[in-house]
Amino acid sequence: MKRVMTYGTFDLLHYGHINLLRRAKSFGDYLIVGLSTNEFNAVKGKTCYFSYDERKQLLEAIRYVDLVIPETCWEQKIDDIQRYGVDVFVMGDDWKGRFDFLSDYCEIVYLPRTPEISTTKIKKEIGLETV
C-alpha cells in the first residue's frame, strides 16, 4: 500500500481543498491529512472559523481522506512520515522548496493550487479578515 501525507488548516472547506485532496490521493492508496490544531494555528498567526473537531469531521467525510491526525508543530513531520510509513509527501506549490528536507524520507510533490479560490479570499469577501 502506497501512503500519501499532506498537512493544512482546511478552514472554510472549499472546492480548492477538495481538488488538492483528490490529486494528493492519486499518488497512492491511502491519504493521511495532518490537520493543524487551533493552538498550532495561533502560533502561525491564523484564526479559524471552525474548531479543530469541526474541521476534522469535515475532512473525515471526504472520500479521498483515510486518516486525519493533529498537526501540533512544524517539527513533527519527519516523525509522522516514519510512524505512518509515508511514501509521498504532498503540499500546495505555494510551499515549494520549504519541505525538500523531507526527501531523505519520502518523495516530495508540490501541487498547483486552485488559483481562483482560497480560504483567505473567502474570509476577506465575507468580512472575516481585513486586507
Residue 121 bears catalytic tag: no
Of 46, 56, 121, 124, catalytic? 46
pLDDT at 131 over 50: no
Residue 96 bears catalytic tag: no
Q: Hey, what's the cell of 13?
A: 472547506
Residue 114's closest CA among 11, 16, 26?
16
Say if pTM beats, i.e. exceeds, 0.95. no
9-56 pLDDT per residue, tens: 998 887 888 999 999 999 999 999 999 999 999 998 888 889 999 999
Of 2, 25, 44, 96, catalytic? 44
| Buried/exposed 29-64: b ≥16 CB within 10 Å, e otherwise | ebbbbbbbbeebbeeeeeebebebeebbebbeebeb
